[in-house]
Amino acid sequence: MPKISLTINDKKIEAESGQTILEVAKENGIKIPTLCHDPRLEPYGACRVCLVEVEGARNFLPACATEIANGMVVKTNTIPLYKIRRTIVELLLSDHELSCVTCESAGQCQLQDLAYELGIEENRFEGERHTYTIEDYNPLIERDLNKCILCGRCVRICEEVQQDRIYTFANRGFDAVVTTPYDRSLIETKCELCGQCISTCPTGALTEKMSRYKGRIWEIEKVKTICPYCGCGCELELQVKDGEIVRVSSDVEGGINKGNTCAKGRFGYDFVNHPDRLTSPLVRKDGKLVEASWDEAIKTVADKFSRIKKRHGPDAIAGLSSAKCTNEENYLMQKFMRAVIGTNNIDHCARL
Amino acid sequence: MVKGKQTRVFICTGTGCVLSGSMKVKAAFKSELKKRKISEIDIVQTGCHGFCQQGPIVVIQPEGFFYPRVSVENVPRIVEEHLVGGKVVEDLLYEDSLTNKKIPLYKDINFYKKQNRIVLKNCGLIDPEDIDDYIEHGGYKAFKKVLSEMTPEKVIEEVKASGLRGRGGAGFPTGLKWDFARKAPGDIKYIICNADEGDPGAFMDRSVLEGDPHSILEGMVIAGYAIGASEGYIYVRAEYPLAVKRLGIAVEQAKKKGFLGKNILDSSFNFNVKIKEGAGAFVCGEETALIASIEGRRGMPRIRPPFPAQSGLWGKPTNINNVETLANVAWIIVNGVDKFTSIGTEKSKGTKIFAVTGKVKNGGLVEVPMGTTLREVIFDICGGVKDDKEFKAVQIGGPSGGCLPAKFLDTSIDYESLAKTGAIVGSGGMVVMDKSSCMVDLARYFLAFTQKESCGKCAPCRIGTKRMLEMLQRMTRGESSEEEVVLLEQLAEDVKVSSLCGLGQTASNPVLTMLKYFRKEFEEHVKEGRCRAGVCSELITYVIKDNVCKGCGVCKKHCPVGAIRGEKKQPHEIDVTKCVKCGICMQHCSFDAIYVAK
Ligand SMILES: Cc1cc2nc3c(=O)[nH]c(=O)nc-3n(C[C@H](O)[C@H](O)[C@H](O)COP(=O)(O)O)c2cc1C
Ligand code: SF4
Ligand code: SF4
Ligand code: SF4
Ligand code: FES
């Protein structure tokens, strides 16, 4: 990509062409507020809080959706821009159930952060408010439209990333709303409950039901890990409080998955602290499974494999490895079957 | 004496005249002629004449005798006296509102005399359901010329040189737009005709669609040839059933005559037109929302760039033009650039159609050269304010436009001059108001419209227009304050500069111009609880203090609605059920006996 030069807030900047003003600003430590932007999605330009001044342009331009050009002169911090941002955030808050005290999003809410940054204590634009009933039929995703700012991120992530179209907009004007086909509950639609919509929602409108009241964002520790479910190797952040996972998220900037996960990765963590979870190997003795050491367990398996091989030959044994294992582990598994056991009877559960 | 074959009775079947009964008039003519066994006289149904207030309109050709407001009962007389007897029916003729003189001929009527009908040239003169009639009037001549003598580049050059600018509102140079679409890489390109016309009160496009559909098709095929498109869409609102029907007929006829289809007129050029009915959302007139709607998605605008010329319908380069814009094209090709550029102002060439409505004597469709003044349109052509009342304001450009007071009456109608005032040419709505209109209430009306039609995508428009509307509602109810007027203006400015599409960016125009030119009225509402037009009757009540009232009766004399009663020298009383809260009584009382109770 050819380099081009521009200035943002009087700072001379060299950047690769094809980038947006927002991307370049971010790389250079210049913060531009956003609400409807998610790097995983196509530029949308709807919330308008990222508007910037570009010399020679007729209107203010959305930084998230405007490509840089050579010689561009951009200002992100002028008084008119602050005024507009303030007006927009006040307008959003004027039709928003402001319950930060108990909201799961508090502390990680882009609307709250922006209101704080702009120092909005009083709202000049009070007026009619919507009251929506909270969708409560599915086990995983809580949809509280009273906190929705209509950024369209859930609609778009479902369509653009998941290639599904569970959400859409309905109605016009002030009554515009995000809805599902025929306004049904998510489990009555084709929704796979992947929770990608939660991952992109900038507010507390979409949250994880299982995490309700389990822990505030400032109480938790984020532990980076690789998802145990399949060989894709998605990076996850386990949000842990007092040694228990309260929520699973993923960093849009890290990992091969760029913040995307499937339903299992996001919600399938309850086994970790489940009472039925096996925590040591079991060996059957006198028809009963009893706890054993790893050494004892491995020895038992090795003995029995050797006996079978001797009596019936290596092809009497077959191996089926798991998609939950890493590539390396799967490699070792087939090596073990071929070189140690001496059979080609090896397969993998993902090869269905 | 029955006149020869050339005599034809033209009956207007535009929507306005149909509503006032022209279909019955047509039937009456048919049966009357049949009864008298007259077969030499043709009855022709035409599109709108633009003079809808005078409908149903009947014109006897070839001379052009003009009969307004024809009823079924008038038909036997017209047949008997005019068609058979050869004498005009004097008392049924049109009477000029200024001179009170009867005017027999169409062309001598003031309403038409000052117009310059390029786009509307055929409206009212041809049968819109008959392609031969269009061809006889010079139709498809331009297209044949383009196809046989001109390269696409040459066509674009001509349109550029003509200075034609988009009539859909933004006024973008049409030739330039075509050039972008031609130069955009891609094999498949589209032409879209924007016939969504969603402004309340506007019916310019409808009249062309209904009265001369082939002129639009001709514009489209020429545009298709110029940019290299082989498919066109007409996006027309489903609320225009007559337009939809006539477009359908026109497309079929054009196919049969070989103006549409494959290898048109033995050339290698292919072009087809599809009609897509829109479900009547104002925002679907915005080009990116319109494209989304054709694609079967929700009509929501998207950010530009990319512009439709780069990536439009189905992601292909697309040129989108308004009905009126396209209807100019054939005229320019046939009559030449010089003739077109001789009409209009330096930067705004040609004519513009306005739909003049409201408190005006002769409302209707008016096509005037750019550069005509507002006064000429409202007073000279449309006869001035109804009942000779005082002119108060004119709203130009519908809910996206601005409201101008009398001091702007001599403003020239062109893109630049109107923009300077805060109004816009827009699509061409023009609502005339006298002093019975309340500006606060009118601002409320327009915002109620834009708020309802906002697509809801961007926050400033979705919530901002709602909050503005609420403020205006409070003002009309007397629940507001001076601070709120200031806040309203600030919010209107913010919404204007921060909204995503034209709808939100222009939604503030009515409020802002009304605040600029009629601020006093807003202040009267919030400070005194008074609506001088007497429209906002939910405001405060006026009360007469009976211990101060001298019973002079001045208030009673001035009350425009007779809401005050009382005997001479006795305390008077205001009937709150009749009072319209105009405050006139209070202004006239010399004893300060009338006060406002909130
Ligand atoms: C809210 C909104 C409504 C519009 N409605 C119409 C319409 O009904 N008809 C139209 O031709 N243009 C309409 N436009 C303008 C179109 O977006 C577009 O500019 C126009 O069709 C281009 O054609 P032109 O260059 O021939 O004017 C509208 C624009 C906005 C923002
Ligand atoms: S969504 Fe954000 S602003 Fe709204 S209640 Fe929750 S934390 Fe507060
Ligand atoms: S639910 Fe969340 S992501 Fe979806 S539109 Fe509302 S605020 Fe945006
Ligand atoms: S300005 Fe209004 S109509 Fe246009 S995109 Fe925004 S919300 Fe939709
Ligand atoms: S982040 Fe750019 S418009 Fe919303």
A118 and chain B in contact, CB less than 8 A: no
Domain that holds residue B211: 131-339
Burial B283-295 (b: 16+ CB within 10 A, else e): bbbbbbbbbbbbe
User: Is there an atom of ligand 3 within 6 Å of A178 CB?
Assistant: yes
Give CA angle at B215 (B212, B221), nearest 5°: 145
User: Is there an atom of ligand 4 within 6 Å of B496 CB?
Assistant: no
Contact B462 A150 (CB under 8 A): yes
Other C-beta atoms lying within 10 Å of the C-beta of residue A282: 12
pLDDT at position B469: 98
Which pair of tokens denotes residue B179? 């050039």
Chain A CB contacts of B491 under 8 Å are 87, 125
Distance from CA of B198 to the nearest CA of A (A): 15
Same domain, B448 and B427: no
Q: Can you give the CATH number for the domain in which B419 is found?
A: 3.10.20.600
Model confidence at B598, pLDDT cuts 50, 70, 90, reads low
Same domain, B103 and B167: no
Contact A176 B455 (CB under 8 A): yes
Q: Which of B502, B528, B554 is the last residue of a domain?
A: B528
Same domain, B444 and B554: no
Radius of gyration of chain A (CA): 26
User: How many angstroms separate the CA atoms of B8 and B238, rounded?
Assistant: 32
Backbone phi, psi, residue A283, to 5°:
-125, 135
Count of CB contacts below 8 A, A vs B? 102
CATH code of domain A3-77: 3.10.20.740
Which pair of tokens denotes residue B390? 């005082």
Q: Which of B58, B85, B113 is the last residue of a domain?
A: B113
Contact B281 A175 (CB under 8 A): no
Of B483, B482, B449, B524, the closest CA to residue B202 belongs to: B449
> How much of chain B, in percent, has pLDDT values that exceed 70?
99
Which pair of tokens denotes residue B414? 């062109």
Quick one: which atom of ligand 1 is closest to the CA of B168? 27
Same domain, B409 and B307: no
Is the pLDDT at B2 greater than 60? The verdict is no
Model confidence at B3, pLDDT cuts 50, 70, 90, reads very low
Same domain, B49 and B94: yes
Residue with tokens 């549409």: B260
pLDDT at position B376: 96
CA atoms within 13 A of residue A144's CA, in its CB half-sphere: 19
User: How many angstroms separate the CA atoms of B502 and B510, rounded?
Assistant: 14
Backbone phi, psi, residue B273, to 5°:
-125, 130
Is B551 domain-assigned?
Answer: yes
Q: Residue B24: which residues within 8 A CB-CB, separation 6 or more? A: B72
- Confirm if B506 and B400 have CB atoms less than 8 A apart: yes
Other C-beta atoms lying within 10 Å of the C-beta of residue B129: 18
CATH code of domain A214-276: 2.20.25.90
A122 and chain B in contact, CB less than 8 A: no
Comma-separated ranges of CATH 3.10.20.740 domains in chain A: 3-77
Contact A176 B456 (CB under 8 A): yes
User: Is B512 buried (19+), middle (13-18) or exposed (0-12) by CB count in 10 A?
Assistant: buried
DSSP class of A134: P
Is B535 domain-assigned?
Answer: no
Is B2 domain-assigned?
Answer: no
Backbone phi, psi, residue B97, to 5°:
-75, -20
Comma-separated ranges of CATH 2.20.25.90 domains in chain A: 214-276
ipTM value = 0.90
The DSSP element (H or E) to which A222 belongs, if any, is strand A221-226
- Confirm if A9 and A77 have CB atoms less than 8 A apart: yes
User: How many angstroms separate the CA atoms of B252 and B183, rounded?
Assistant: 31
Disruptive mutation site among B283, B295, B303, B495 for chain A (greatest number of A CBs within 10 Å) = B303
Model confidence at B53, pLDDT cuts 50, 70, 90, reads confident
Quick one: which atom of ligand 3 is closest to the CA of A151? 8
Query: For B280-333, what is each residue's pLDDT tens digit?
Result: 799 999 999 999 999 999 999 999 999 999 999 999 999 999 999 999 999 999
Q: Can you give the CATH number for the domain in which B78 is found?
A: 3.40.30.10
Give CA angle at A241 (A240, A246), nearest 5°: 60
**Cis peptide leading into A228, omega within 30 of 0?**
no
Closest ligand to C-alpha of residue A109 is 2
Q: From the centroid of its chain, how far is CA A328? A: 27
Averaged pLDDT score across all residues of chain B: 93
**Angle between the N-to-C axes of helices B482-498 and B509-517, in degrees from 0 to 180, rounded to the nearest 10:** 140
User: How many angstroms separate the CA atoms of A150 and A160, rounded?
Assistant: 17
User: Which residues between 296 and 355 in chain B have a beta carbon less than 8 angstroms from any beta carbon of chain A?
Assistant: 298, 300, 302-303
Distance from residue B115's CA to the centre of ligand 4 (Å): 36
Same domain, B52 and B137: no
User: Is there an atom of ligand 2 within 6 Å of A100 CB?
Assistant: yes
Disruptive mutation site among A68, A88, A89 for chain B (greatest number of B CBs within 10 Å) = A88
Radius of gyration of chain B (CA): 27
pLDDT at position A352: 46
pLDDT at position A322: 87
Question: What stretches of B100-212 show up as alpha helix (H) in DSSP?
Answer: 110-113, 131-136, 141-149, 152-162, 174-183, 204-211
Which pair of tokens denotes residue B340? 């077109």
Is B3 domain-assigned?
Answer: no
pLDDT at position A188: 93
Same domain, B478 and B376: no
Q: Can you give the CATH number for the domain in which B591 is found?
A: 3.30.70.20
Query: For B94-145, what is each residue's pLDDT tens digit?
Result: 998 778 899 999 888 888 888 899 999 999 889 999 999 999 999 999 999 9
Same domain, B283 and B401: no
pTM of the model as a whole: 0.89
Is B513 domain-assigned?
Answer: yes
B491 and chain A in contact, CB less than 8 A: yes
User: How many angstroms separate the CA atoms of B526 and B517, rounded?
Assistant: 17
Q: Mind spelling out the 3-state secondary structure of B90-146?
A: HHHCEECCCCCCEECEHHHCHHHHCCCCCCCCCCCCCCCCCHHHHHHCCCCHHHHHH
Same domain, B520 and B550: no
Q: Least CA distance to B491: which residue of chain A?
A: A87
User: How many angstroms separate the CA atoms of A315 and A308, rounded?
Assistant: 10
Is B120 domain-assigned?
Answer: no
User: Is there an atom of ligand 2 within 6 Å of A103 CB?
Assistant: yes
User: Is there an atom of ligand 3 within 6 Å of A205 CB?
Assistant: yes
Number of domains in chain B: 5
Same domain, B454 and B429: no
Is B122 domain-assigned?
Answer: no
A65 and chain B in contact, CB less than 8 A: yes
User: How many angstroms separate the CA atoms of B563 and A162, rounded?
Assistant: 67
Q: Which of B312, B339, B366 is the last residue of a domain?
A: B339
Which pair of tokens denotes residue B128? 């819109």
User: Is there an atom of ligand 4 within 6 Å of B325 CB?
Assistant: no
Question: What stretches of B336-461 show up as alpha helix (H) in DSSP?
Answer: 337-341, 374-375, 415-421, 439-453, 459
pLDDT at position B6: 79
pLDDT at position B474: 95
pLDDT (average), residues B564-582: 89
Distance from residue B194's CA to the centre of ligand 1 (Å): 7
Paired strand residues for A235: A226
| Residue ranges, chain A, pLDDT below 70 | 1, 351-352
Give CA angle at B379 (B373, B382), nearest 5°: 105
Same domain, B235 and B94: no
DSSP B316-375: S-EEEEEHHHHHHHHHHHHH-HHHHHTSB-SSSBSEEEEEEEESBTT-EEEEEETT-BHH
The DSSP element (H or E) to which A79 belongs, if any, is helix A79-94
Same domain, B225 and B158: yes
pLDDT at position B5: 52
Other C-beta atoms lying within 10 Å of the C-beta of residue A105: 21
Is B124 domain-assigned?
Answer: no
